[in-house]
Amino acid sequence: MHLIPAIDIIDGKCVRLTQGDYNQKKEYNSNPLEVAKAYEDAGIGRLHLVDLDGAKQKKIVNLKVLETIASGTGLHIDFGGGVQSDEDLQAAFNAGARQVTGGSIAVKQPARFEKWLQEYGSEKLILGADVKDGQIAVSGWQESSDRELFRFLSDYKAKGVSYVICTDVSKDGLLQGAAADLYTQITEQFPDLKLIASGGVAALEDLKELKAIGCWGAIIGKAIYEGRITLKELAEFNA
C-alpha cells in the first residue's frame, strides 16, 4: 500500500482543516518545501498536495508551491484544489504535478472531466470522491451534491477512471480512525479501482487496517503533524 502524506495549502503555508471547515484552520509550517523534503528523506515517494485556496475560489491559487516542491524534490505529486479549466489542468502538469485530482469538476462538469480522461489517460487523473452522508461533497466540501457515492464511482469506472481518492468528510481531521467499513464496501464492489483512503488516519494501526482491506494507498495528514505517526514509523511501514 502506498503511503501518501498530505500537504494542504492556504496562503502558501501548510495547514490542516477539521472536516473541511475553513474556520477550523491550524497552521503547521510556513515552508511547504521543508515539509516535503522531510517526507522524501524518510523514503516516502508520493505527496498529496491540495490548494485549499483554489478549492474555495474554483481556480488554482497556489501554483508556485507546486512548482517549488516539484522542482525541489523527486516526489510523485498528485495535485488538487481548484482545477476547473483546461488551462488550470495544463498549468498543474507544467508546474510538475504527475497526477491531478478532480472532484468538483467531475460532478459539475462531467463532460470536461471525461474529455480530460480521454486526452491525458487514466494514469494522469484521479477522481476525487469526497463523501458526506453518502453523497458527494464539492467545492472544498462547502457544498453537497445529489450524486450518491456508489453510483458516482460506478459511472466513472465505466468511463475509464482507475484511481479514486475517497474522503469521508465526517472523519477528516478528527484523528478518530479511518472509515474502514466504507472502504471495505468500495473495495468489494470495485476491486479493480485503485482506492486511496483519506481522512481520519490517527495511528499506525489504521494504516495496517487499510492495507488489509486492500486499499491501494492511504493519505496521512494531521497524524504526522501532531506526532501520532512518526516519519520513522512510516519509513519502516514502507520497507
Give the residue numbers annotated as catalytic, written as ranges: 8, 130
* Nearest CA among 87, 91, 35 for reference residue 62: 91
Q: Which three cell numbers stand for residue 44?
A: 516516502
Cα–Cα distance for residue pair 155/167, rounded to 1 Å: 18
Q: What angle do CA 22, 92, 59 make, to 5 degrees?
A: 40
Burial of 19 (0-12, 13-18, 19+ CB in 10 A): middle
Residues 6 or more apart from 234 whose CB is under 8 A from it?
Answer: 3, 5, 42, 43, 44, 220, 224
CA angle 93, 216, 95 (to 5 degrees): 10
177: which DSSP letter? -
For the record, the C-alpha cell of 46 comes out as 508520493
Q: How does DSSP classify residue 121?
A: -
